Structures are given as structure tokens and as C-alpha cells.
């Protein structure tokens, strides 16, 4: 399969419930977001690698060479992680690996998650709580 890298506009088209918290709530899409504090240099390396990946995303395979594999490559290339995902390249294993980063400020958010573009072209996280049934 041909690979791709989706930005905000791309996600609005192919998976709008991942960027629109109200739609996520309406469809009961519950997400968990992990946030790690990185240095300015790590952030710059991350952005640079991600831009290169957008230009040449390569192929997509379910087992290795998938979205988790590529995300892991970016984290390693920007010195945020020292090694790739242990075990199979799955979103769950990448999440577990990132959550074990003890030398970083790690935060978790769960709910109906979306982002909104601000006037200065940045993004603001929007999290709607999950209703109990």
C-alpha cells in the first residue's frame, strides 16, 4: 500500500472524528493522547523529520512500516526515544513505550479529542469528557 502523512487538513477529510471533538462525541469515538515535553532542539528535529516523511512516506504495511513504525522513527531520529518500538509495531506498543519515559514530563488525556485552529494558525486541544452510560 502507498504510504501517506496526514496533517490537520488531511485528517479533516479522511478521519474528521479525530480532529473534531464534537463529532467524536457524537460518534462516541474515545481517544487517549499522550504528551511529552521535549527540548527546542528535539522539537526542531521532530518537525524536520516529519516534513521529510511527508515528501516521501514510503509504503504502508500492516506488520512493520505502518503509522506506529513511522512515528517511532521520528521519535528516535529526534532523540526523544533511544530505540524503536519493542515487539510488534502497534499503536498500543508505541503508546506503552512513550508512557514509560521517566525522564520527561508525560501527561495523558482521555476523552472525545479534537483540535481547533487558532487565529495565529496554531492549534488548541479540545477535550470533551466521556459521558457515563
Domain ranges of the chain: 1-37+105-133, 38-104
- pLDDT category of residue 133 using cuts at 50, 70 and 90: low
Closest CA to 32 of 108, 127, 99: 108
Give per-residue pLDDT as tens, 30-70: 999 988 899 999 999 999 998 888 888 777 777 777 888 88
* Alpha carbon distances (Å) from 57 to 9, 25, 40, 60: 17, 31, 25, 8
Contact assessment for residue 90 and residue 7, using Cβ atoms and an 8 Å cutoff = no
Amino acid at each position: 500500500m502507498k504510504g501517506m502523512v496526514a496533517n490537520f487538513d488531511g485528517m479533516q477529510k479522511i478521519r474528521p472524528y479525530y480532529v473534531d471533538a464534537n463529532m467524536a462525541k457524537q460518534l462516541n469515538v474515545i481517544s487517549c493522547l499522550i504528551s511529552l515535553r521535549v527540548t527546542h532542539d528535539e522539537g526542531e528535529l521532530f518537525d524536520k523529520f516529519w516534513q521529510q516523511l511527508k515528501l516521501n512516506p514510503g509504503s504502508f504495511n500492516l506488520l512493520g512500516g505502518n503509522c506506529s513504525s513511522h512515528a517511532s522513527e521520528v521519535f528516535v531520529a529526534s532523540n526523544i526515544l533511544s530505540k524503536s518500538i519493542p515487539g510488534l509495531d502497534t499503536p498500543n506498543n508505541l503508546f506503552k513505550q512513550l508512557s514509560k519515559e521517566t525522564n520527561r514530563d508525560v501527561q495523558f488525556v482521555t476523552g472525545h479529542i479534537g483540535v481547533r485552529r487558532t487565529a495565529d494558525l496554531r492549534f488548541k486541544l479540545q477535550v470533551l469528557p466521556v459521558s457515563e452510560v
